[in-house]
Amino acid sequence: MTAPDPGADDRAVQPRRGLRPVTEQTRVTTAELFFDLVFVFAFIQVTTLMTTEASGLGVLHGLLVLTMMWWSWSLFAWLGNRVRANYGLSRFVLLAVTPVMFTLAVNTREAFTDEPGGLYSPLFFVASFVTLRVLYLALRWYASPALRGRDRIALVAPMLASALLLLAAALLPRSGLGERTMQVGQVVLWVVAVAVDYGVGLAVRVSERAVFSARHWAERHNLIVIVALGEVLVAVGIAGADLHNTPGLILTSALAVVVAGALEWIYFDLSALSGEHALHEAGPARRVALARDGYSYLHLPMIAGIILLALGLKHTPSLVVAAPTFWRGDPLDPLGRYAMYGGVALFLVAHAAFQWRLSRLVRALVWPRLVAAAVLLAMLPVTGRISATRALLWLTVICVVTAVVEFVVSRGQRRRLRQALADEAEGTCSGDTGLGGPAG
């Protein structure tokens, strides 16, 4: 029923030697922040994989890798909301997981096809993936002594199935199959592996007490969104690092930062507040469902949209070519414009779905995002006939206008949400916050 943390019950969270349980007041720890730093590099590697292959297949490869990485991150997000990550055994396990996650990220660019020379990277990618999951399972079992046999099977079975599928995909290039058949086979095996993990996450029943701190849960996901947006800035910086300082480079870089800032504004100005409040207000069973749907599942397309935006920026001519002209320069190539505009549209639609799922209070305010996404998709044919700089300028205008419109129309809700969260943080929040009832 819930995402990555099946089979718990309330007795499973009693303190054990070397562990400290999470409470409602728990915040994100420095150990978790250190682990999340690896994803700065991991997201860069995903974008680099897409850029290197420079094709629709490369984008698909990158999204599949991102999806598996996100599931691995989500496992530890659920676990970190059960036992504190900066104490005792949890801290040691997370410190051990961090270099494993980094190794997985290092092998990301060759997760499907190994480059000549050196070790066979696809196998090392799978080995890192399996090691990551084994470390998670070891701590998960120790932290939950009341797990029953069927609960343990529900935790182990999808990991084994995914590992075997990814192993088969890694070995396909050595099977002697034709290139086309091998590529299709790899994608099919990866898609099935993803379906196993995410499908089991939806199907397996979990405890009503799987989310112990609404504040920690919302804050952890807020920070990973910041990490993803940071990848946009890094992508722009890396792309233009070896170019001469031209008007096109300066303008394009500035516009890219404004787009990232607008997306940050859209995410954090209201929806981050409403998400945390919805978790606070929800009963235990509903809190788990909201955490699963709104965060573990709907945050993935948001992150994917940000990564696609970074990919599109890497295809912007003024960021990759030292051309003196920029306003009447070359247009974006098809991959660049679909990634840039489509990525932002995906982010906006997923974010609207997130807001719709989490809270009745702000459902009426999803329309600016949906309108903006529709405008971006409608403009895709136009972006093939104008310069890349103009296309980026129009994207910037749409994102900023969307952010401003949301800010204007949501002033009342924002004030009430901030007050309610302040009251909840102080433990003085009454049953009725005046916000129109519990999360819906």
Helix 179-203 with 56-80: angle, nearest 10 deg = 30
pTM given for the model: 0.88
Give yes or no: residues 90 and 156 share one domain: yes
The reply to whether 128 falls in a domain is: yes
The reply to whether 211 falls in a domain is: no
The reply to whether 433 falls in a domain is: no
Instruction: Walk along the chain (440 residues) and give the pLDDT tens digit of each residue.
Output: 444 554 444 444 456 788 888 888 889 999 999 999 999 999 999 999 998 888 899 999 999 999 999 999 999 999 999 999 988 899 999 999 999 999 999 999 999 988 887 788 899 999 999 999 999 999 988 888 777 777 788 888 889 999 999 999 999 987 777 888 899 999 999 999 999 999 988 877 666 567 889 899 999 999 999 999 998 898 888 776 666 677 778 888 899 999 999 999 999 887 778 888 888 888 888 889 999 999 999 999 999 999 999 999 888 876 655 555 555 577 888 998 999 999 999 999 999 999 889 877 666 678 889 999 999 999 999 998 888 888 999 999 999 999 999 888 877 777 777 777 677 666 634 443 333 333 33
The reply to whether 212 falls in a domain is: no
Burial track 368-384 (b if 16+ CB lie within 10 A, e otherwise): bbbbbbebbbebbeebe
Give yes or no: residues 386 and 249 share one domain: yes
Q: List the domain range (segments joined by +) for residue 384.
A: 228-425
Give yes or no: residues 265 and 342 share one domain: yes
Q: Could you tell me which residues come within 8 angstroms of residue 312 by beta carbon, excluding any fewer than 6 positions away? A: 332, 336, 337, 338, 339, 340, 341, 343
> What distance in Å separates the CA atoms of residue 64 and residue 279, rounded to the nearest whole number?
29
Domain total for the chain? 2
Give yes or no: residues 188 and 243 share one domain: no
The reply to whether 145 falls in a domain is: yes
Give yes or no: residues 249 and 380 share one domain: yes
Give yes or no: residues 344 and 393 share one domain: yes
- Cα 18 to Cα 12, 103, 142, distances in angstroms: 15, 27, 10
Give yes or no: residues 46 and 194 share one domain: yes
DSSP 219-274: HHHHHHHHHHHHHHHHHHHHHTTTS---HHHHHHHHHHHHHHHHHHHHIIIIIHHH
Give yes or no: residues 371 and 416 share one domain: yes
For the chain, how long is the longest CA-to-CA vector?
67
Give yes or no: residues 169 and 259 share one domain: no
Give yes or no: residues 290 and 408 share one domain: yes
Give yes or no: residues 300 and 408 share one domain: yes
The reply to whether 254 falls in a domain is: yes
